[in-house]
Amino acid sequence: MSELTDAVRERYAAKALQMAPGGVTGSLGLACDLTDGQRAQRQAEWRAVDAAALLTRAERSGTVISTYRAGPATRAELTRLVAAERVCCGTANWALHDDGAELRVTVDAASGACCEDDCCGATYSAEELASVGIDATASLGCGNPTLLAELRAGETVLDLGSGAGLDVLLSARRVGPAGHAYGVDMTDEMLAVARANQSRAGVSNATFLKGTIEALPLPAASVDVIISNCVINLAADKRAVLREANRVLKPGGRLAVADMVALAELPAEVKRSLDQWAGCIAGTIPADEYVSALRAAGFTGIDVEVTREVRLDGVAGAIASAYIRATKEPTKPA
């Protein structure tokens, strides 16, 4: 388990260094020398071609491979976009491969991976992002748990695996000065990025803590809501994570997370791969197993909503992004 934890820590520490000033910050390797407006436009262009023709996206042997249905318009647009990315980020090894019926775009995984290239469907409005002054590329997640949680003024929120801090800072805005948002992350590099983002956003009612999601550095019954964005699947002992979540929630508290689940059994060799695990693939479990773990941890009112299926190029099985909601059982009257 230590080897797995080290693999995840190393991967996300590297991503944090890319996010820091002077590093690559963009989804799918978009370079930091683009202005915010240019980056947003580039992301919109990639999303448009994804929506029109993307067949699969997967990480394999350190490379993100996006496969598209071929067509004249798609071929022309991918040629233009890949050429633009080569100019912006020459170290990412962008390439377009024309196989006739299909087109493949490849890029080094250090600049793009499943949980950061919008394949999971993370959605943040322009207004939300403007409220904290952070680009959507700060999210390495697979959804927007701050919307899922339906946060209310004055609540205390905890983000499991807070990364660059986007969801924590958005939560802090939503709960207002009477509330507070905490983020827990195990990497010093990510904590540094998150605190820098907090300083730039001018958000005072947020705190970033170092720790693991299997042993949260908060007292029992101290938070109203727990959120998380494509992180629980990275934990080897997910039941321990959910027990800890239940412990720190107040009675009647809510859990609202975006995560990845398995729709079809993944091959054993994929399950054993640390690279695939750190890339949000091998660590997925079936939805019914997730529900069982939540029940065992003491949660009720459990709901799993699959939002987007992801087929893995060259790998049997399938995974999907999902919104998962549950409630800690309220204290029973004496």
Does 186 have pLDDT greater than 80?
yes
pLDDT score recorded for residue 261:
85
State which H helix or E strand residue 190 sits in: helix 188-201
Mean pLDDT for 71-96 is: 76
Residues 89 and 51 in one domain: yes
pTM over 0.75: no
Where a domain ends, among 114, 138, 159? 114
Mean pLDDT for 212-232 is: 94
pLDDT bracket for residue 249 (50, 70, 90)? very high
Residues 157 and 183: their CA atoms lie apart, in Å, by 8
Strands 63-69 and 54-60: antiparallel
Residues 54 and 161 in one domain: no
Residues 88 and 180 in one domain: no
Residues 89 and 219 in one domain: no
pLDDT digits 0-9 by tens, 6-33: 555 555 555 545 555 443 223 334 443 4
pLDDT score recorded for residue 129:
66
Where a domain ends, among 82, 114, 146? 114
Domain that holds residue 75: 2-114
For residues 196-214, b (16+ Cβ closer than 10 Å) or e, as one string? ebbeebebebbbbeeebbb
